[in-house]
Amino acid sequence: MIGTKGTVVAVNGNMVGVRFDGIVSMNEVGYVKVQDKRLKSEVIRIRGDLCFLQVFEMTKGIAVGDMVEFTGDMLSVEVGPGLLGQVFDGLQNPLPKLAEEAGYFLERGIYLDALPLDAEWEFTPVAKVGDTVERGDTLGTVPEGAFTHQIMVPFNMYGRYTVASIKPKGTYHVRDAIAELDDGKGNRIPVAMSFRWPVKRAVDCYAERLKPVDPMVTKVRLIDTFFPVARGGTYCIPGPFGAGKTVLQQITSRHADVDVVIIAACGERAGEVVETLKEFPELLDPKTGRSLMERTIIICNTSSMPVAAREASVYTAVTLAEYYRQMGLHVLLLADSTSRWAQAMREMSGRLEEIPGEEAFPAYLESVIAAFYERAGIVRLKDGRTGSVTIGGTVSPAGGNFEEPVTQATLKVVGAFHGLSRERSDARKYPAIHPLDSWSKYRGIIDSEKVAYAHKFMFRGSEVEQMMKVVGEEGTSLDDFIIYLKGNFLDSVYFQQNSFDAVDAAVSPERQKHVFAILLNILASQFKFKDKEDARSWFNRLRQKFLDYNGSEWKSERFVALEKEILDAVSERSAGLDKNAEKILA
């Protein structure tokens, strides 16, 4: 009910207790009046006529007796044409415009329109007068960059409607009424190109939810081959500070086989965000040859916003992702870092005096994280098209301890685990995904039996390496030493990529399959060596040839020549194939 008023009775950090007279709902937006400002907040607990709000601004100056106005609306985002290429804060304020209006030391209490109201869009009607439509159905289209943006019946219009009128083809603003819908009760409801949707309510206008099966190609060999991510699936990237989480996300966002990328910098408020904001407009999109920002949305917190805004960033991002999924597009949502979001929950839980769970995190930590990742998925729309939201979240466990609550809660719900290693990061191995700790439940681009056979050499090679640390190299048999060399060879030429090399930075699935077949043949071969030094010298020479091979253009003369040199070198030393591998290679 719009118009409910309240009075501040307590202030604890960015949490405010309010006594109200009327009706107030959970997650409703309220504005705390302090001096000449109205500070946006969200209801997070109701007890009788007392409610608690988390304020998305600094609460300095709020005092007992200050007035609060409740809006009757949930915390929502505005969706429509004009979202792509924008940089928002967690409350969907466009940050460049906010900086122009408030200066770079952002003032609190300033809230701007998310979409450019003065922009004109070329609307083409699809629906006709007399058509029956439901929420999520397409009324018309407008071009937005490389995409055809569908203007849909707002998701909050439940039931069936008849198109009473619709605008002809022409240019309109986002809030201009482009159609009128008859609800069958004599009411005509105007519909614009934009509408609002609550961030904590999943968009569910699709016909069917499907099981994620097809791989989402990232062009990172270690991921696509060994630890794949499914389109519409979920994965997490935990790792210590400085291990390359943000870099891996940026590489993925550039080369992943998706239509739209949404980056939720829900915890990184310093160097990483500055780097992203500077680099993304300058990066060329390999798919279109234009700026990568044209199909990207960045949502980040500013240093002037309290930790409560981290939660808003996460939900704003996933709601925008679901909106584009409803158009039949494939969306990649990257959240960096969910640990900061969990810390914000812990802070608010402490202020609410809730019973703490492990390490003082709230007892409902697992369910909240699960609810977020469950909003990923691939869906079939009513017209038969499919759209997807793939969610990848980074976790920053203190000291790289994967046993801490946030990492463990995330591992229970995701489909792939890309654990970054401080040891591999310090050794300049990129990506620093640990090949022994990481896993995936999804199907990759290469047969799983072949991948498992190759992966076995990493495990066995690691065992031999640990043994050599105890008994020395001289205490190891030649056969075991060759297994150790094969494991190192696999790591050097396939797991690692040169992100500074234009060719090796992104590897197509076709090339991955071709190179992996050659690599598998090398791993399965039984070699003739005089001694360990002979074996080491030969593998070192082969490794250098393979690295040159990785850096050569696909199917170029140099590529073909180097491949022949590699195959000849293997054939010269090979004494046949491992019997256990013959069936796999066949």
CA distances from 338 to 28, 238, 320, 419 (A): 24, 10, 18, 15
- With b for 16 or more beta-carbon neighbours within 10 A and e for fewer, the 374-406 pattern comes to ebbbbbebeeeebbbbbbbbbbbbeebebebbb
CA distances from 439 to 393, 417, 451 (A): 15, 5, 12
Residue 583, phi then psi, degrees to nearest 5: -65, -40
Binding residue per annotation — 245? yes
Binding residue per annotation — 243? yes
Binding residue per annotation — 241? yes
Confirm if 415 and 234 have CB atoms less than 8 A apart: yes
Length of the chain: 586
Of 334, 280, 346, 272, the closest CA to residue 303 belongs to: 272
Binding residue per annotation — 239? yes
d(CA 60, CA 427): 46
- Reduce the secondary structure of 47-110 to three states and give it as a string: ECCEEEEEECCCCCCCCCCCEEEEEEEECEEEECCCCCCCEECCCCCEHHHHHHHHCCCCCCCC
**124 class by beta-carbon count within 10 Å (0-12 exposed, 13-18 middle, 19+ buried):** middle
Binding residue per annotation — 246? yes
1: tokens are 């009910």
206: tokens are 């699709």
Residue type, 62: I
Judge if the upstream peptide bond of residue 215 is cis by omega within 30 degrees of 0: no
Of 382, 361, 365, 381, the closest CA to residue 373 belongs to: 365
Binding residue per annotation — 240? yes
CB-side neighbour CA atoms (13 Å) of 57: 21
Binding residue per annotation — 244? yes
DSSP letter at 307 equals T
The number of helices, as runs of H, and strands, as runs of E, in the chain is: 15, 28
Q: At what angle do helices 308-325 and 365-373 cross, to 10 degrees?
A: 30
Q: Which residues pair with 29 in a beta bridge?
A: 42
Sequence-separated (6 or more) residues with CB below 8 Å from residue 491: 429, 435, 458
Q: In what order do the strands lie in the sheet with 177-182?
A: 132-133, 161-166, 177-182, 188-192
Binding residue per annotation — 17? no
Of 365, 372, 367, 373, the closest CA to residue 344 belongs to: 365
- Which amino acids are annotated as binding site for ATP, given as ranges? 239-246
